[in-house]
Structure 1
Amino acid sequence: MSELRLKPGTGWQEAYSACVTLAPEAFHDDRVLNHWGGMWQRDGRPTLDVSPLDRTAIAGPPRLDRAAAARAVRGALDQHREWRHTPLAERKARVSAVLDALTEHRDLLSLLLVWEIGKPWRLATADVDRCIEGVRWYVQEIDRMLAGRAPLPGPVSNIASWNYPMSVLMHAMLVQILAGNAAIAKTPTDGGVSCLTLACALAVREGLPITLVSGSGAELSPALVRGHELGCVSFVGGRDTGAQIAMSLADLGRAHILEQEGLNCWGVWDYDDWQTLGRQIRATFDYAKQRCTAYPRFVVQRRLFHDFLAAYLPAISSVRFGHPLAVESPDDPLPDLDFGPLINDAKAKELADQVEDAINKGGVPLYRGSLADGRFLPGQDTSAYFAPVAVLAPPRSSPLFHAEPFGPVDTIVVVDTEAELLAAMNASNGALVATISCGDEATAARLAAEVRAFKVGVNRPRSRGDREELFGGLGASWRGAFVGGELLVRAVTQGPEGERLPGNFPGYTLQP
């Protein structure tokens, strides 16, 4: 292979300059802006960040203080009180215009995702496309979903992780607005500020009631979680932060959607279609498993372990990773990689430390990839990259045993009985998704019914899903209303008095 180079036209400065040209109200030469009170605000403490691709300096979030965040939330309430009376036909027309604008600038939004959060081009464009296509479906279906329902009494506050700025965060905001609410978004601290700002700028131009603010969670939480003006709090992230938000909301009786992590497990029992499983294992490494529905744990029947290993090792060794914008020739298409960097070098170091700790305490290093196998530019910084790793029998004292690593690290547990299989698959007290690979339908159905995950696939992976597909979590992986399809609209609107929404609430759990 000849020496790699950055594909012409894909540099950070070119991407940011395109943002300044396209949306000068939101992007200045030296910083991005917040949006609140119906105006783009050059406020907050501007910060520089570095791209996980190669530590190129990129725009960071302009951090507000607590007082400014409170003013922003009050401004969102003013917008909400006006927007909730906007006729549905007009709301649909304005949201549709935003979707057309996002479609027109899809490649720029995708390129920003590559630089800011390290997504390979295929996955970055998929994130943008899923947002656009998903919300178009809601525009078509919203009339029936809103029958007999009304907007919330206040705006929806959205606090989401960095990994899906478009298909999760922007998608949710547009549906919330379509349903008659104003929407507030906290820019994810770890990445995605320019992509989200550009998407919001295109939406604000069409008159959508969006508030976009940046800052630390501790500083902004009083306004974005406990602010009396809010109608709902929507959170996507880890269990620790989600639990803190749940405690903050406990005495308020406020609508909430708190999606938290769980250890999603893949069980293998009485199974023999190893060629299919090998393809599925390879696919689990998309975006370095930095997603809420990743599968970092395989639980395998002991008598099948040799067959599993024969499928697993070729799959993990075939994973392709590296710089998402590196090509051999200027005319080459961008590489089709499974993943690029992790979100930052601190995460890569944390994972390395966890792997070493697990091995030192008795875990077996079943597979250890090398950065030498990646595709990189000559001399580039690779501190945020992490090659795939698999650890057999992680010790119970290791974080890898009971928590999601959020990186390309698999743990494998071998079991002898169905009871052991289920205990291992339920190690984290609830998950979002799970899968059972099993050749017997009756056995698979019986095992799947005992797995504490919201979605359990049989011989296929499950994911968040789009359009009418529902999404939630069992146990400690979810608090509040479930979402997806009609449930997302119900979660951000008011229905009949005494309505019990499907979800995990302090007083009840109701499955859809």
Structure 2
Amino acid sequence: MAPTTPSSPLVLKPGTSWPDAWERCLAVAPEAFRDDRVLNLWASSWQADGRALPATSPVDGTPIAGPPRLDAATAHRAVRASLDAHRDWLQVPLPERRARVAATLDALAEHRELLALLLVWEIGKPWRLARADVDRAIDGVRWYVDGVEPMLADRTPLPGPVSNIASWNYPMSVLVHAMLVQALAGNAVIAKAPTDGGVACLTLACALAAREGVPVTLVSGGGRELSEALVRAPEIGCVSFVGGRDTGARIATAVTDLGKRHVLEQEGLNTWGVWNFTDWPALTSVIPKLFDYGKQRCTAYPRFVVQRTLFADFLAAYLPAVRSLRFGHPLAVERPEDPLPELDFGPLINAAKAKELSDQVAEAIGRGAAPLHRGSTADGRFLPGQDTSAYLPPVTLLNPPPSSPLHHAEPFGPVDTVVLVDTEAELLAAMNASNGALVATLSTDDPGTYDRLAPEIRAFKTGHGVPRSRGDRDELFGGFGHSWRGAFVGGDLLVRAVTTGPPGERAPGNFPDYHLMP
């Protein structure tokens, strides 16, 4: 069933505009927001330094606050100041740390709606997913606040602060969550605001944490300018990175050479295999969920590997689900009093990414891929005359050629590819195309077939007919092969990754050559 077209022109939900959100930021945290720019937080104070770059929202091209980019020298000063804060924080007993982090969570919960609205404007998250991102951060850290004592038994904080460099897609449930747990474990924390979006949301979250006395540093800048300070500086006790393989590989080389503690989550081509399978209604029901946030997440499934004899049945189950997807402006409503729409996804992170993927789709088709589905912006929900350059309707291609990036790399957008196979060996080879992934799924009716093939799939988590995710609270997370380097996280492992244990302790993780984590 296709999405319904609004019967009248859509309007922006009153009270949700970017100026509305910005005025609320100025009122809630005037120390962190000034006029039309955000500030950097280092040396325990908000600094009006850095070169503020212009930025626009992917939602509709509205001008928004850009990151105030520091130079390398100032970044080094910020790192040195963070080490001083780290040494002070080492003297704070655990009950006091718990109280300060818990107070931060209460403040985040109080301003949940504003944090979510900033995520909508800055990174294009639909309202439902933006609120979920905030809620997962709060609920996840509360789990640690309530149960961290046994996790810290016989453990001590690192000798220096934890440096966090993360992608833009989950500022709260990944980045802020990690920062607060790292601080709870006894470390000062540094975060680099992602260049592509989320700086205002992170600034507000860090302002609320800093007010409670949590030792947080937040800086903006280009990776090349800041990497020497945030990765290589001797003051840094651990590097936590979430992002692409190219940047991750450079960081992995640096931290390995320096013998530095590290958690490096990188991209992988997560795949969904279909073999000797008949429960097609179950597959139809899950397909829309796989398009949440336009597949702009590390645990998205952009590749289906399908037994050739099941291809017709697969299409009959898959295509109606894809045609039902709802996308468009996350804050557009038919009437001012209407609730915000329940969308599967909004824009991509920027117009350049939308064009890049559109070009890759066109190139793949030109080289022999068959388009199974190509959506249209006419099917989306948009304001009259709005900029839609960052939007990409869903696309599905059959057998992208080996020369195409869509054959071997994660698209990070609403582009699915389908590969047909005839044997179990071909199935496994196609599912392992990227030499390591974070998640995978195999849909098969026979539990014995699943038990036999799942261990051969190079993914950290493999589901039997159900999608896997990063997980919350006590669920562990890591990667296989090139999708991860360093300590695994989740549950007590997240605490162990940023603390020192008994002499000779071997850290669970994906380390090159199985090196021990120092």
Q: Tell me which interval the TM-score lies in, with the shorter structure as reference length.
A: over 0.9
The corresponding residue for 1:290 is 296
What do residues 359-391 of structure 1 show as CA deviations (whole Å, max 9, x unaligned)?
111100111000000000000000000000000
The corresponding residue for 1:344 is 350
The corresponding residue for 1:464 is 470
Give 1:305-324 correspondences, 5 Å limit: 305-324=311-330
Aligned residue among 128, 134, 138 for 1:128: 134
**Cα separation, 2, equivalents of 1:489 and 1:124:** 26
- Tell me the amino acid that sits aligned with residue 233 of structure 2: G
**Cα separation, 2, equivalents of 1:4 and 1:441:** 49
How far is 1:355 from its partner? 0.3
Aligned residue among 158, 162, 165 for 1:159: 165
The corresponding residue for 1:85 is 91
**Cα separation, 2, equivalents of 1:283 and 1:395:** 27
Answer with 44-53 or 192-201: which moved more.
44-53
Give 1:384-423 correspondences, 5 Å limit: 384-423=390-429
1:299 aligns with 2:305: yes
Aligned residue among 353, 364, 373 for 1:367: 373
What do residues 48-107 of structure 1 show as CA deviations (whole Å, max 9, x unaligned)?
200000000000000000000000000000000010121000000000000000000000
The corresponding residue for 2:438 is 432
Aligned residue among 491, 501, 505 for 1:499: 505
What secondary structure sits across from 2:462 in the alignment? strand
The corresponding residue for 1:237 is 243
Give 1:135-174 correspondences, 5 Å limit: 135-174=141-180
1:15 aligns with 2:21: yes
The corresponding residue for 1:484 is 490
Runs of 5+ unmatched residues, structure 1 = none
CA, structure 1 residues 509+222, in 2 after alignment: closer, same or farther (shift >3 Å)?
closer
What do residues 325-382 of structure 1 show as CA deviations (whole Å, max 9, x unaligned)?
0000010000000000000000000000100111111100111000000000000000
Aligned residue among 360, 364, 373 for 1:358: 364
The corresponding residue for 1:2 is 8
What secondary structure sits across from 1:267 in the alignment? strand
- Tell me the amino acid that sits aligned with residue 148 of structure 2: I
Aligned residue among 270, 278, 281 for 2:287: 281
What secondary structure sits across from 2:41 in the alignment? strand
User: 1:503 touches 1:509 (CA, 8 Å); kept in 2?
Assistant: no
The corresponding residue for 1:249 is 255
- Tell me the amino acid that sits aligned with residue 384 of structure 2: P
How far is 1:280 from its partner? 1.0
**Cα separation, 2, equivalents of 1:74 and 1:52:** 35
**Cα separation, 2, equivalents of 1:90 and 1:269:** 54
- Tell me the amino acid that sits aligned with residue 371 of structure 1: T
Aligned residue among 105, 109, 120 for 1:114: 120
What secondary structure sits across from 1:385 in the alignment? coil
Give 1:191-270 correspondences, 5 Å limit: 191-270=197-276
What secondary structure sits across from 2:301 in the alignment? coil
**Cα separation, 2, equivalents of 1:158 and 1:260:** 14
**Cα separation, 1, equivalents of 2:91 and 2:454:** 45
- Tell me the amino acid that sits aligned with residue 477 of structure 1: S
**Cα separation, 1, equivalents of 2:509 and 2:95:** 30
1:72 aligns with 2:72: no
What secondary structure sits across from 2:273 in the alignment? strand
User: 1:48 touches 1:59 (CA, 8 Å); kept in 2?
Assistant: yes
Aligned residue among 24, 36, 43 for 2:42: 36
**Cα separation, 1, equivalents of 2:383 and 2:23:** 23
The corresponding residue for 1:24 is 30
1:57 aligns with 2:63: yes
What do residues 459-492 of structure 1 show as CA deviations (whole Å, max 9, x unaligned)?
1000000000000000000000010111100000
What secondary structure sits across from 2:178 in the alignment? helix
Aligned residue among 166, 184, 188 for 2:194: 188
What secondary structure sits across from 1:251 in the alignment? helix
Aligned residue among 481, 505, 508 for 2:514: 508
User: 1:269 touches 1:300 (CA, 8 Å); kept in 2?
Assistant: yes
**Cα separation, 2, equivalents of 1:384 and 1:176:** 35
Answer with 43-52 or 342-351: which moved more.
43-52
**Cα separation, 1, equivalents of 2:306 and 2:287:** 13
What do residues 295-314 of structure 1 show as CA deviations (whole Å, max 9, x unaligned)?
00000001111110000100
How far is 1:250 from its partner? 2.2
The corresponding residue for 2:3 is none
The corresponding residue for 2:338 is 332
**Cα separation, 2, equivalents of 1:167 and 1:414:** 36
How far is 1:509 from its partner? 7.7
- Tell me the amino acid that sits aligned with residue 488 of structure 2: F
**Cα separation, 2, equivalents of 1:467 and 1:294:** 20
- Tell me the amino acid that sits aligned with residue 334 of structure 1: L
**Cα separation, 1, equivalents of 2:35 and 2:460:** 45
**Cα separation, 2, equivalents of 1:249 and 1:83:** 24
| Residue-pair matches, total | 510
**Cα separation, 1, equivalents of 2:160 and 2:75:** 16
- Tell me the amino acid that sits aligned with residue 412 of structure 2: F
**Cα separation, 2, equivalents of 1:509 and 1:10:** 50
How far is 1:506 from its partner? 2.2
**Cα separation, 2, equivalents of 1:311 and 1:63:** 48
- Tell me the amino acid that sits aligned with residue 189 of structure 1: T
**Cα separation, 1, equivalents of 2:186 and 2:23:** 34
Runs of 5+ unmatched residues, structure 2 = 1-6
User: 1:19 touches 1:198 (CA, 8 Å); kept in 2?
Assistant: yes
- Tell me the amino acid that sits aligned with residue 246 of structure 1: A
What secondary structure sits across from 1:298 in the alignment? strand
**Cα separation, 2, equivalents of 1:324 and 1:172:** 27
**Cα separation, 1, equivalents of 2:218 and 2:203:** 8
- Tell me the amino acid that sits aligned with residue 129 of structure 1: D
**Cα separation, 1, equivalents of 2:423 and 2:256:** 40
User: 1:502 touches 1:509 (CA, 8 Å); kept in 2?
Assistant: no
How far is 1:445 from its partner? 1.2
- Tell me the amino acid that sits aligned with residue 361 of structure 1: R
**Cα separation, 1, equivalents of 2:91 and 2:182:** 14
**Cα separation, 2, equivalents of 1:320 and 1:406:** 18
What do residues 3-42 of structure 1 show as CA deviations (whole Å, max 9, x unaligned)?
1000000000010110001100000112110000011101
Dislocated runs of 4+, deviation >4 Å:
none
**Cα separation, 1, equivalents of 2:354 and 2:515:** 37
